[in-house]
Structure 1
Amino acid sequence: MSVCSDSTSDSGMYQQESASGASWSTLQERLRASVLSISSVIAMPFDTDRSGAHSATGFIVDTEKCIVLSNRHVMGPGPSYHKGTFFDNVEVHLQPLYYDPEHDFSFFRYDPAELRGFTPKAIRLMPEKVHSGLAIRVIGNDSSEKLSVLQGELSQLDRNAPKYSRQGDDCYQDLNTFYYQASTSSKGGSSGSPVVDVEGDAVALQAGGNTRSSSNFFLPLNRIKYALDYILRGEIPPRGTVQARFTHVTHVEAERLGLEEAAAVQEGVCMEGTTGLLTVNKVLASGPADGRLVVGDIIITVNDVAIPGFLELAEILDASAGSNVRFRVFRNGQFVTVGVDVQDLYSIIPTTVLKIGLCYLHNMSFHHAMCSSVPVSGVKMAKKDNVFIPTGELNGCNVIHAINNRPTPNLDALMEVLRSVRREEDILVHVKDYDDPRNESVFTTHLPTAGLSVRVFTRSIATGFWSFREFDGLAAPEPTSCPKPLDIATPATDSAVDSLSHAVDAVSLECKDPIANIKRGMVHIETRPICPADGHYFVAQNGCGLVVDKHRGLILCSTRLVANPTSNITVTFGGVLRVRATLACIHPLYPIAFIKYDPAQLSGGLMDVAIGDINLDYAEDADAPKPLKAGDSVTVVCNTENSGLVVHKTTVSRRQLISTSSCELCFNQRFFNTEPFMLSSGISATGSEFGVVCGDDGEIRGLWTCVPGCDHDEADVGHIGLDISLVLPIMRQLQTSDTAPDGVRILDVEFGYLSFSKASAFGITSAHVNAMTQESPNARSMLKVTKVLRVRPAGEASLEIGDIILSVDGNVVSRMDDVSCFYGRDSVDLSIVRRGEEVGLTVRTSPLVGSNTRRVIFWAGSYLQEPYPQVLQQASHVASRVHSFMFDKGGPTVRESTLVDMFVTDIGDTPIQTLDDVVMVAKQLKSTALEEFNNFIANNGPYISGKMPGCDVTVRVVRINGEKVVRSIQTNDHYYPAWQLTRGPHIDDTWVFELL
């Protein structure tokens, strides 16, 4: 049975009149002042909850203390914030006062000053009125529809707790309690609804439902009422546990397990008026019941009290927290008495979160341990990122149990280990994957100097809010910026160049074999993005690159590795020395990028690392290597998925025009006006993401690189070959300048091929064809404009769809590279054929700026940056230089997901045109009470409102298609402070984090 707590069900309209004669309309009028629609945002992934927003229901149970009852999974055990709305549209902020550590209920509190004259009413909790066949009504916000009323009839009162499911992850599971069942067909939004009888008294709490049927499940009110009594007195309800899960079985099932009725009665089992007994279903290792209770035990008595159901067991365990109880059980045909220590349940409920960048760590929780059948020990990764824990290293449910060979049974132990670690220093991490308990992962990681803040969040028992403090560990790296290389003896032969761990040769840097020289220039690259940028998520990448200028420290690689420009980059030379690097440039037209390292990091240690002396320093006025053509024999030096560096001889099969499309969800980089070469065979499309293509003489003729897809489609579009001449202009600029090059310019159109056989219809004459074939004897087609990327102002010369290109600056156009891009040229003279006539035009070129993102701002849960090239190419109108491209699932804008892929034009009353405007507004809107609020929460001071530091603000945006949108959001400066990530103008500048 598939059940989902977020997909509860209620349907129908109960129209009978109560036995007392009061009409349903009268009852509904009274209850409408008691039920709230709850809007919840789970700010951080925690325990078995993910971050995100959802709608639910709650109802008032005490007007004097302003207490609202709802589900545990509505509040969430981690940092969260909530708002309640009454039927009359009166809004209140809800303070997360208390959630039960085991069962699915929680209590909120509101500030009566926010009611503005509205008088709410409380619903009585009357668990004693429950009986089978009781007519009920579920009053809530079914499917987020305000005050939906659905009818049903309680048909089962002793159901075991439902098992909820969520694809791809575990989720919260209630245990050790009965549930009621009825068919009400309620859906999402009904969670937390009161289940009332015809007199308007609550008899149960809506909790979940079966998504494949109309069955719904309700939590009994007995333990809710027990907890409420303590809450009203300002106390914490005592809760005890033996870290075991019990299930209810019928008397018939107990007999099948060997327990005879006469023997059970003699031992003290109460048979009359009961439907069964409790059995032990699961015992957690290292818990109080481990070695004392055994799965399959039938519970007879506890402390000589008969235990016919969960309520009697819970009362004894809660009253015995911190002491020992006697279990009388039936086991293997015998009655056995065992003593079990009762543990305080709150002691195994995590209350602290370590947030490292976008990685969230906390103690292993009781519920997660119960779901995974593991001990309550270790540090769970509630969410992995790529700054601390690369996502490529791990899958499934991961728990850190050691760092640097020091055990980390809890978060305090882990933080103590991290206090002795410096940034950039390698950390050895031992991780258990409880989806594969037979194995564990052991890998190294490090925390780079450039990254987001590291904070510790701690839950306040008194208020339910979480205070924060900056983590006092992770010292700055050593003054010497380069890691020490391994002391490895020089190999006796050059055989070491046959694998990725070659390149250690302190004797000579010269190599006569050009292929071996290229292999010496191949390095391993790892990238870990700090945050989303340029429409890309923060996914770690690794692959190969080629050192093209060892004196300048320039490396050529695939765009796939650095598609996210906020990446922390490390380069490994010869498998023995790792150095930091920065992104120098992403080519805006071709799928290649340059990164830069400091050459000084490769010397001065125990040895010099040998790097191949790659010579691409062709004079600008000299002939670079000619483009490869079909049939040419080449040698490819590339990396493969499993074999390291390999050398493969093949031939060029053809040249083919490519034009990729951009994903509507993330605006990935487009590639167009490119005519790469394809290789015949022998190189795996998925196993080789970067390589060098050499001619028969060993001269570098081209590059073999992948055309990356987007984050929504992990499969690459394909692999292509690029002539080396295409990258030389950018490389020359990087060799002479410390700033990112921006001289790539295009004609604002896309080209396609028109065969000679169809050319005459466009007005192409034999003279035109003869001129082209004299320039390129193998030519059989001409270039035609197929798409206009930007409409130019009226009166400005421009190309039109259908134009045929004859020449550029007097040179006959015979191939795509002649018109694909221009470097540093503001205009070009074109000869074209338009509507059958030859025309001369002087056309201005437009800059095609590469990914030169140097600033990302995080405000109100949204990521903002300047529009990147892919956005500018698709936008019908650029309304501002501030583009909202992504949002955090726990942030204030999560409910306004339409504020994505838009240009921000106004925040409040302030017009927005630049990122500086956003910074100014963010500082103006920042709550002045933030520090006071945080200190108040950290000291467990009393608080009677759910309102957190922040403000209501109107945001105006313009969609990519030009549509204007207005949204109102409420910022949250406590859980989601504004910050910016900036990088200087130079190619070797690093990212700097700053709170606004």
Structure 2
Amino acid sequence: TPDRYVEIGGAKLNELSYQLARSYCVPCQGVYVAEPSGMFRLDGPDHGWIIGSIDNRPTPTLDTFIQVMQSIPDRERVPVVYHSIADFHTTSVAVVQVERHWSRFRLAVRNDTTGLWDFTDLGAPLPPKAIQPATARFIQLDASVGPAKDLIRSLVKVSYYMPCRIDGFPKSRKQGAGLVLDHARGLIVVSRSIVPFSMGDLSITFADTIIVPGKIEYLHPSHNFAFVRYDPALVGETDVASAPLSEEMLLQGHRVTLVAFNHNQRPVCLTTVVTDITSVTIPQNSTPRFRSVNLDAITLDTPLAQQCSSGVLADEYGRVQGLWLSYLGERNMSGHDNEYHLGLHIHTALPVLSALQRGEDPGLRSLNVELMPVQMAQAVAMGLGQEWVHRVEEANSAKHQLFLIRRTETGSESAKMLEELDLILAVNGKTITRMYEMDVQYEAEELEMTILRKKEELTLKVPTSPVSGDGTSRVVMWAGAALQEPHKAVLQQSKTLPSRIYVSARSKGSPAYMYGMVPTQWITHINGTPTSDLDTFVDAVRQCPDNTYVRVKTISFDNIPMVLSVKNNLHYWSFVFVWVRASAVYRWPTIDMVKDATTECGWRRNEVVKGRRGTVRNYIRTRDFSTLILLLVRSNSAPLPPS
């Protein structure tokens, strides 16, 4: 049985055990990936990999593995040669990016006297190498594709690694295509099924050759796209082109050219027809996660479109009319996450693009409601008069419909005025028959809305609320559970808000996992002390000694109260991430992580003496009574920093 293992990049590795070697009749040697995760989540089955070499250097033992990893700079991309313990005939290779900034590199040794595993820090990572500008050439599509063939120079591959599962997102890695909209400013639009939140490492590949880091600029709160940015200087003289945009709206029956990537990340180009543009409701998941709402979806007359997760829709002149995106839906009974491939009008992204080009925050506002279409026969049965039927027919000759409020967002300003099942007739005097006509909400502080409620026509002054494009910016890790403020998907699906502490995820084997803390719960009390937000929660758990049971009062997503006894185990589960107040005083050694745009990660690590006050939005790592607290906030000038 191994008495040592190494933690690095979110994975755990040890020397191959005698028991496994005996079971598979293989030599008892080599570094075995005991927990494949993070940088060592290799291609193929989840378990059973033996590492042969890293960066072309053999790793026959754990000590050699440690020496090799200590010599490789952070964020370096290196080849890893490995094989399965069940098949020594086949050798595989994968190129991985060294991850030393989100997780620690440490050695665990079993202590047979205490029964614990003693941890030894294996040193700070070597700083990343400076990225040098490089030049490459995009592939050339056949002339038969037409003018749209030049769009291949505007399509890039976006890869995103997420070290912590928050916001209910089920994956740790995603990859797909992004569209360059402004090469001079380095702006790319990409699906939110690829970039769901802002905590992670973003890589952008140009011409299948040049890989540069990216930074998340804006996450649209309701539509399925995000804007990311890269440094144009890093791609040298590469023939990257800003995609030309069309001002013409796509309509049913229009011919378009689909330029997209299939599941093998190979380009697919074909001319097809728009079969329909209809308001679609993406099914919600039982565990809330981002879901695009109020969507006018474009569908195409070709089955090949469903094999392509991301790309663009272009007109006969090669101008982009729409984005072809993958929409994350619900998890089915077999545990598979359904994805829907649909088109989105490019004009939906233009308000955000224009603001980012001006160097401004988009500053969008929203009613924070989810709408669904209603056919006229149903609307008449709900009490709609003939006068409004005629208005709808005049406003939209192609599709006679109105929109019903399916959900209001908990805690929003509009929820005080609007109710679910209200039928929207007009906004600011304009009859609403198309989903995009509701875009007027993005710039208005107040809307005059005419609605039909219980067969009564009402005119209301409805306020809008500012919406942020930053996504989640605070995460607290305690007892192996990831806690955060309720994200937008939670507010959309829940009618109540018991507290501002929401359980987003948990780690297997942790106290949270063992004692029944599950995602979608709210925490309201710690040992009888009310905890309404993350600040009060951290203050409460800091008073709980090690190896004692903590009474955690929770409320389930269905409003069922429950009290859990969670045993503190600060030796193995000792990290807490919070946003520190300026007046906080710490009486134990700390490490202060300060935002600094001049550093590679956008953060600077400083030692802090005992008793020094914390700084607003800084990281502070503290240790007292075996407690380790790490403060984490998102930078507006760089990707989220390392922990």
Q: TM-score, normalised by structure 2?
A: 0.84
Alpha-carbon distance in structure 2 between the residues aligned to 1:654 and 1:795:
32
Out of 436, 448, 453, which is 2:87 matched to?
A: 436
Aligned residue for 1:381?
Answer: 33
Aligned residue for 2:238?
Answer: 609
Aligned residue for 1:656?
Answer: 278
Does structure 2 conserve the Cα–Cα contact (< 8 Å) formed by 1:749 and 1:799? no
Alpha-carbon distance in structure 1 between the residues aligned to 2:232 and 2:150:
18
Alpha-carbon distance in structure 1 between the residues aligned to 2:522 and 2:228:
30
Aligned residue for 2:519?
Answer: 900
Does structure 2 conserve the Cα–Cα contact (< 8 Å) formed by 1:744 and 1:821? no
Match of 2:274, SS?
A: strand
Aligned residue for 1:982?
Answer: 632
Out of 296, 303, 310, which is 1:675 matched to?
A: 296
Amino acid across the alignment from 2:632: T
Out of 747, 753, 770, which is 2:374 matched to?
A: 753
Alpha-carbon distance in structure 2 between the residues aligned to 1:668 and 1:430:
36
Does structure 2 conserve the Cα–Cα contact (< 8 Å) formed by 1:401 and 1:407? yes
- In the alignment, structure 1 residue 830 sits paired with structure 2 residue 449: yes
Q: Describe the superposition over 1:119-167 as per-residue Cα deviations: whole angstroms up to 9, x where unpaired.
A: xxxxxxxxxxxxxxxxxxxxxxxxxxxxxxxxxxxxxxxxxxxxxxxxx
Does structure 1 conserve the Cα–Cα contact (< 8 Å) formed by 2:176 and 2:265? no
Out of 354, 368, 390, which is 2:41 matched to?
A: 390
Q: Describe the superposition over 1:866-888 as per-residue Cα deviations: whole angstroms up to 9, x where unpaired.
A: 11111112233222222112221
Number of residues of Structure 1 aligned to a counterpart in Structure 2: 586
Does structure 2 conserve the Cα–Cα contact (< 8 Å) formed by 1:428 and 1:445? yes
* Aligned 1:83-98 pairs, distance under 5 A: none
- In the alignment, structure 1 residue 498 sits paired with structure 2 residue 166: no
- Taking structure 1 as reference, are residues 832 and 856 closer, same or farther at Cα in structure 2, changes over 3 Å only? closer
- CA-CA distance at 1:690 after TM superposition: 0.7
Amino acid across the alignment from 1:612: A
- CA-CA distance at 1:969 after TM superposition: 1.7
Q: CA RMSD in A?
A: 2.9
Aligned residue for 1:874?
Answer: 493
- In the alignment, structure 1 residue 963 sits paired with structure 2 residue 560: yes
- CA-CA distance at 1:383 after TM superposition: 0.8
Out of 170, 184, 204, which is 1:571 matched to?
A: 204
Does structure 2 conserve the Cα–Cα contact (< 8 Å) formed by 1:450 and 1:568? no
Alpha-carbon distance in structure 1 between the residues aligned to 2:292 and 2:66:
46
Alpha-carbon distance in structure 2 between the residues aligned to 1:966 and 1:858:
19
Alpha-carbon distance in structure 1 between the residues aligned to 2:22 and 2:183:
55
- CA-CA distance at 1:845 after TM superposition: 2.8
- In the alignment, structure 1 residue 888 sits paired with structure 2 residue 503: no
- Taking structure 1 as reference, are residues 973 and 808 closer, same or farther at Cα in structure 2, changes over 3 Å only? same
- In the alignment, structure 1 residue 633 sits paired with structure 2 residue 255: yes
Match of 1:368, SS?
A: helix
- In the alignment, structure 1 residue 351 sits paired with structure 2 residue 351: no
- CA-CA distance at 1:538 after TM superposition: 4.4
Out of 473, 481, 500, which is 1:862 matched to?
A: 481
- CA-CA distance at 1:835 after TM superposition: 4.5
- In the alignment, structure 1 residue 718 sits paired with structure 2 residue 351: no
* Aligned 1:103-118 pairs, distance under 5 A: none
Does structure 2 conserve the Cα–Cα contact (< 8 Å) formed by 1:849 and 1:869? no
Amino acid across the alignment from 1:714: H
- In the alignment, structure 1 residue 772 sits paired with structure 2 residue 392: yes
- Taking structure 1 as reference, are residues 453 and 792 closer, same or farther at Cα in structure 2, changes over 3 Å only? closer
- Taking structure 1 as reference, are residues 684 and 833 closer, same or farther at Cα in structure 2, changes over 3 Å only? closer
- Taking structure 1 as reference, are residues 571 and 714 closer, same or farther at Cα in structure 2, changes over 3 Å only? farther
Alpha-carbon distance in structure 2 between the residues aligned to 1:711 and 1:383:
25
Does structure 1 conserve the Cα–Cα contact (< 8 Å) formed by 2:409 and 2:415? no
Amino acid across the alignment from 2:229: K
- Taking structure 1 as reference, are residues 905 and 799 closer, same or farther at Cα in structure 2, changes over 3 Å only? closer
- In the alignment, structure 1 residue 954 sits paired with structure 2 residue 551: yes
Match of 2:499, SS?
A: coil
Match of 2:247, SS?
A: coil
- Taking structure 1 as reference, are residues 646 and 476 closer, same or farther at Cα in structure 2, changes over 3 Å only? same
- Taking structure 1 as reference, are residues 905 and 646 closer, same or farther at Cα in structure 2, changes over 3 Å only? same
- CA-CA distance at 1:796 after TM superposition: 4.9
- Taking structure 1 as reference, are residues 643 and 382 closer, same or farther at Cα in structure 2, changes over 3 Å only? closer
Does structure 2 conserve the Cα–Cα contact (< 8 Å) formed by 1:772 and 1:814? yes
* Aligned 1:465-864 pairs, distance under 5 A: 465-472=116-123, 474-478=125-129, 480=130, 482-483=131-132, 485=134, 496-498=139-141, 515-603=148-236, 608-616=237-245, 625-642=247-264, 644-664=266-286, 666-685=287-306, 687-709=307-329, 713-737=335-359, 741=362, 743-746=364-367, 748-755=369-376, 757-790=377-410, 796-801=416-421, 803-819=422-438, 822-846=441-465, 852-864=471-483
Match of 1:520, SS?
A: helix
Aligned residue for 1:8?
Answer: none
Aligned residue for 1:308?
Answer: none
Aligned residue for 2:23?
Answer: 371
Identity in percent = 25
- CA-CA distance at 1:950 after TM superposition: 4.0
Amino acid across the alignment from 2:640: W
Match of 2:353, SS?
A: helix
- Taking structure 1 as reference, are residues 775 and 572 closer, same or farther at Cα in structure 2, changes over 3 Å only? same
Match of 1:752, SS?
A: strand
- Taking structure 1 as reference, are residues 421 and 556 closer, same or farther at Cα in structure 2, changes over 3 Å only? same
- In the alignment, structure 1 residue 414 sits paired with structure 2 residue 65: yes
Work out which of the two has the higher radius of gyration on C-alpha atoms and give 1 or 2: 1
Q: Name which of structure 1's ranges 465-474 and 706-715 shifts more when overlaid on structure 2.
A: 706-715
Does structure 2 conserve the Cα–Cα contact (< 8 Å) formed by 1:392 and 1:540? no
Q: Name which of structure 1's ranges 877-886 and 816-825 shifts more when overlaid on structure 2.
A: 816-825
- CA-CA distance at 1:919 after TM superposition: 3.9
- Taking structure 1 as reference, are residues 785 and 407 closer, same or farther at Cα in structure 2, changes over 3 Å only? closer
Amino acid across the alignment from 2:192: T
- Taking structure 1 as reference, are residues 835 and 462 closer, same or farther at Cα in structure 2, changes over 3 Å only? closer
- Taking structure 1 as reference, are residues 758 and 881 closer, same or farther at Cα in structure 2, changes over 3 Å only? closer
Does structure 1 conserve the Cα–Cα contact (< 8 Å) formed by 2:70 and 2:125? yes
Match of 2:290, SS?
A: coil
Alpha-carbon distance in structure 2 between the residues aligned to 1:591 and 1:658:
13
Amino acid across the alignment from 1:610: D
- Taking structure 1 as reference, are residues 591 and 795 closer, same or farther at Cα in structure 2, changes over 3 Å only? closer
Q: Describe the superposition over 1:880-906 as per-residue Cα deviations: whole angstroms up to 9, x where unpaired.
A: 222112221221222222453222223
- CA-CA distance at 1:800 after TM superposition: 4.9
- Taking structure 1 as reference, are residues 638 and 794 closer, same or farther at Cα in structure 2, changes over 3 Å only? closer
- In the alignment, structure 1 residue 445 sits paired with structure 2 residue 96: yes
Aligned residue for 2:78?
Answer: 427
Q: Describe the superposition over 1:494-542 as per-residue Cα deviations: whole angstroms up to 9, x where unpaired.
A: 8x3339xxxxxxxxxxxxx852442111111111111111112442121
- Taking structure 1 as reference, are residues 817 and 429 closer, same or farther at Cα in structure 2, changes over 3 Å only? same
Does structure 2 conserve the Cα–Cα contact (< 8 Å) formed by 1:403 and 1:428? yes
Alpha-carbon distance in structure 1 between the residues aligned to 2:354 and 2:266:
30
Aligned residue for 1:164?
Answer: none
Alpha-carbon distance in structure 2 between the residues aligned to 1:823 and 1:722:
18
* Aligned 1:21-60 pairs, distance under 5 A: none
Amino acid across the alignment from 1:781: Q
Q: Describe the superposition over 1:318-373 as per-residue Cα deviations: whole angstroms up to 9, x where unpaired.
A: xxxxxxxxxxxxxxxxxxxxxxxxxxxxxxx4211111142101100011112222
Does structure 2 conserve the Cα–Cα contact (< 8 Å) formed by 1:390 and 1:540? no
- CA-CA distance at 1:646 after TM superposition: 2.3
Does structure 2 conserve the Cα–Cα contact (< 8 Å) formed by 1:877 and 1:961? no
Q: Describe the superposition over 1:16-68 as per-residue Cα deviations: whole angstroms up to 9, x where unpaired.
A: xxxxxxxxxxxxxxxxxxxxxxxxxxxxxxxxxxxxxxxxxxxxxxxxxxxxx
Q: Describe the superposition over 1:276-321 as per-residue Cα deviations: whole angstroms up to 9, x where unpaired.
A: xxxxxxxxxxxxxxxxxxxxxxxxxxxxxxxxxxxxxxxxxxxxxx
